[in-house]
């Protein structure tokens, strides 16, 4: 156990990253290990990852704990409950920690986002387009991306991470709708699960490294339960996201309403 001080810098960005971007990537196919990987098989892995990250007809909810580190500063902690319904492009986020922001909520439906502050008992409204214009968040951080649709495989190689032999898939963006021009995925050979992801800018600079060292199995699908995001531009800045209470059970419709944010704060 350790004591930490909360600070909310970049917390929302990390939440959006985690719910909109990482989970769809982290699906897992129960494919046997391949002796060598051809282009077609690599493409199959990508489309499997896309398919398995979606939960058709189901919802997703979890409790995220985000601990961020910055050199010379105390660790900051944010804990949020996340509710997702991709079929209607809806999500609800409830802030549980830090205390100063407890009960605050975000509700998204299509391009609209509402923010609720229980201390003022009021909502504010904005559109995703507005937010993206003024932040470092990218389109794909808020919408599910599709690896096979957005990326071409440039190169396939082999390596190992820790004790795991991995396929290294070097991907290049097909369009400019994705946040990073180049992405390198390290996919475990025996169970085809992503262990590591590197994101590169257009000029080839490594921007961000993400590790997926821990998964849980929910209704036959593997979901990451711990993620480490390392900012490669600002040395020493990194965040750990821990997902608990993950479920893909159907949620009541009212979870995605303004009334829900008000009710849970009563």
Partner 1 sequence: MPVTLRIAFRNIFEHKSKSLIIGILLAMGSLILIVGNSFIDASRTGIEITFSDNYTGDVFISGISPEGPVSLFGVTSVGGLAATPIIPDFEKVLAILSKNPQVDAYSGMATGYGIVTKNPELSIDQTMHAVGEEDDPSESDPSFRFFFLFGVDPSSYWTMFDSVRLTSGSLIQPGSTGLLVNEKQLEKISKWMKKPLGVGDTLVIQGFSASGMKIRELPILGTYVQQGEGAAPEQMSFVDIDTLRILAGMTVGSNEDIVLMEEQFSLLRAADEEIIFGEDLFGDDIIGAAPAKGSFDEAKIQAQLADTKARDLANTADTGAWQFLVIKAKDPSRTNQLIKELNLSLKNEGIEAVAGDWQKAAGPYGQSVDVIRIVFTIAIAILSIVAIIIIMNTFVISVIERTGEIGTMRAIGAQRVFVRKLFAAESVVLSLFFAIIGALLAIGVVALLRSLKVEAGNPFLAILFGGKYLSPYITVFNFLGGIAGMVAVGYVAHLYPVSVALRIQPVQAMRND
Residue of 244, 261, 260 lying closest to 65 (CA atoms): 244
Least distance from C-beta 36 to partner 1, angstroms?
23
7 binds partner 1 (CB under 8 A): yes
Q: Which stretch binds partner 1 (CB under 8 A): 14-22, 44-52, 92-100, 197-205?
A: 92-100
Least distance from C-beta 81 to partner 1, angstroms?
7
Q: Figure out which of the listed residues 152, 158, 190, 217 binds partner 1, where binding follows CB under 8 A.
A: 217
What is the H or E stretch that residue 57 is in? none
Q: Figure out which of the listed residues 218, 231, 232, 262 binds partner 1, where binding follows CB under 8 A.
A: 218
Give the footprint of partner 1 on residues 93-152 (CB under 8 A): 94, 96-104, 107, 109-110, 112, 114-120, 122-125, 127, 130
Residue of 199, 198, 248, 240 lying closest to 223 (CA atoms): 248
Question: Going residue by residue from 153 to 172, which x/- string records binding to partner 1, judged by CB under 8 A?
Answer: --------xxxx--------
Provide the β-strand partners of residue 221.
Answer: 218
263 binds partner 1 (CB under 8 A): yes
Tokens of 185: 């995925």
Burial degree of 235 (CB within 10 A; 0-12, 13-18, 19+): exposed
61 binds partner 1 (CB under 8 A): yes
Least distance from C-beta 32 to partner 1, angstroms?
17
Question: Going residue by residue from 15 to 54, which x/- string records binding to partner 1, judged by CB under 8 A?
Answer: ----------------------------------------
Between the two ends of the chain, the Cα-to-Cα distance in Å is 31
DSSP states of 69-110 as a string? E-TTS--EEEEEEEEEEGGGTEEEEEEEESGGGTT-EEEEET
């Amino acid at each position: 156990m350790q004591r930490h001080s909360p600070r909310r810098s970049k917390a929302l960005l990390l939440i959006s990253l985690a719910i909109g971007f990482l989970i769809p990537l982290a699906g897992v196919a129960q494919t046997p290990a391949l002796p060598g990987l051809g282009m077609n098989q690599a493409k199959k892995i990508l489309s499997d990852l896309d398919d398995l990250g979606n939960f058709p007809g189901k919802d997703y909810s979890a409790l995220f704990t985000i601990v961020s580190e910055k050199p010379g500063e105390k660790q900051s902690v944010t804990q949020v409950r996340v509710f997702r319904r991709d079929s209607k492009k809806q999500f609800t986020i409830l802030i549980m920690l830090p205390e100063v922001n407890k009960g605050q909520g975000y509700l998204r439906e299509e391009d609209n986002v509402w923010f609720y502050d229980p201390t003022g008992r009021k909502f504010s409204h904005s559109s995703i387009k507005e937010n993206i214009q003024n932040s470092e968040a990218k389109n794909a951080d808020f919408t599910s991306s599709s690896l096979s649709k957005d990326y071409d495989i440039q190169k396939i190689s082999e390596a190992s991470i820790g004790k795991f032999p991995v396929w290294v898939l070097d991907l290049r963006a097909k369009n400019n709708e994705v946040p990073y021009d180049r992405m390198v995925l390290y996919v475990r050979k025996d169970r085809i699960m992503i262990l590591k992801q590197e994101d590169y800018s257009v000029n080839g600079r490594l921007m961000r490294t993400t590790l997926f060292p821990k998964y849980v199995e929910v209704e036959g699908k593997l979901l990451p339960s711990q993620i480490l995001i390392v900012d490669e531009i600002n040395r020493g800045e990194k965040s750990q996201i821990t997902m608990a209470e993950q479920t893909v059970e159907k949620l009541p419709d009212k979870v995605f309403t303004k009334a829900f944010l008000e009710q849970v704060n009563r």
